Amino acid sequence: DAKTTQPNSMESNEEEPVHLPCNHSTISGTDYIHWYRQLPSQGPEYVIHGLTSNVNNRMASLAIAEDRKSSTLILHRATLRDAAVYYCILRDGDTGRRALTFGSGTRLQVQP
Amino acid sequence: DTGVSQNPRHKITKRGQNVTFRCDPISEHNRLYWYRQTLGQGPEFLTYFQNEAQLEKSRLLSDRFSAERPKGSFSTLEIQRTEQGDSAMYLCASSLIQASQETQYFGPGTRLLVL
């Protein structure tokens, strides 16, 4: 599986935008970029995913670099509830391997 | 709430004992996954089912571990002769086969402590 690299931790202030980076320089053409997050004492939850184009949903936006070697998860206005570990995951759209391969993620702290 | 449920939420056992965890997926979800998560690490894949068929097992799933999904609905994960290294959060997730990038929905996990 292609690997991802994320900062261990980031801090943000409440109601400010947050940009969470992810490097995936060995991404293949069929790899989708997924983001999940894990709130304290809970299981992970899906945030967003994309292949080439930028994506928006009610939770976040995903900006994908033109060469696809990096991506950024954007939380437009951080709230205290967004404090979580955020995982950037590559998932092959071709081979049919279904499991998610989690790294260590980025721990986001949100200050009031 | 119709999310993924797991029971028990916490389990404390002595080394050498057997334990069994249950996962009830979201209704009509045909894929079910088991992951294990140790403190400070991301979840690690253990195994997954499509309906009642176990399609993939990780190298982490030693012969002391066995998982079943007998009728394609709920699943059980059994650990025999538990060891202290088995202490972890065991997470279950389910998904519905749609396009190749289906979303996995996770349960709250079962936290196991082996003394």
Is B78 an 8 Å CB contact of chain A? no
- Poorest-confidence range of A2-6, A77-81, B90-94, B108-112? A2-6
- Which site among B54, B101, B102, B110 would you substitute to test the A interface, given the most A Cβ atoms closer than 10 Å to its Cβ? B101
By Cβ distance, the residue of A42, A49, A87 closest to B42 is A87
Checking if the pLDDT of B17 tops 90, the result is yes
What does the pLDDT read at residue B108? 96
Question: Average pLDDT in the B54-68 region?
Answer: 93
Read off the pLDDT band of A71 (50, 70, 90): very high
> CA–CA separation, A70 vs B24, rounded Å?
36
DSSP B90: E
> CA–CA separation, B24 vs B7, rounded Å?
9
Answer yes or no: do B44 and A102 touch at CB < 8 A: yes
Of A90, A52, A55, nearest in space to A73 by CA: A55
The torsion region of residue A30 among left (phi > 0), alpha (psi -120 to 50) and beta comes to alpha
CA distance B15 to chain A (A): 25
Checking if the pLDDT of A74 tops 60, the result is yes
Answer yes or no: do B56 and A99 touch at CB < 8 A: yes
Compute the mean pLDDT over every residue in chain A, rounded to the nearest whole number.
Answer: 93
Q: Chain B residue closest to A105 (CA)?
A: B42
Contacts of A59 (CB under 8 A, 6+ apart): A47, A48, A75
Residue, of B91 and A98, whose pLDDT is higher: B91
Contact call for residues B57 and B64 (beta carbons, < 8 A): no
B27 to B76, B90, B101: CA distances (angstroms): 16, 20, 19
B 17-76: CB under 8 A from A:
31, 33, 35, 40-45, 48, 55-56, 58
Answer yes or no: do B56 and A91 touch at CB < 8 A: no
Checking if the pLDDT of A66 tops 60, the result is yes
Q: Tell me whether the omega of the peptide bond preceding residue A40 falls within 30 degrees of 0, making it cis.
A: no
Checking if the pLDDT of B1 tops 60, the result is no
Of B90, B93, B84, nearest in space to B24 by CA: B93
Compute the mean pLDDT over every residue in chain B, rounded to the nearest whole number.
Answer: 94
State both tokens at A21.
């980076």
Question: Average pLDDT in the B41-49 region?
Answer: 95
What does the pLDDT read at residue A99? 86
Task: Work out how many CB contacts closer than 8 A connect A with B.
Answer: 60
The percentage of residues in chain A with a pLDDT greater than 70, rounded to a whole number, is 95
Checking if the pLDDT of B48 tops 80, the result is yes
**Exposed/middle/buried for A40, CB within 10 Å: 0-12, 13-18, 19+?**
exposed
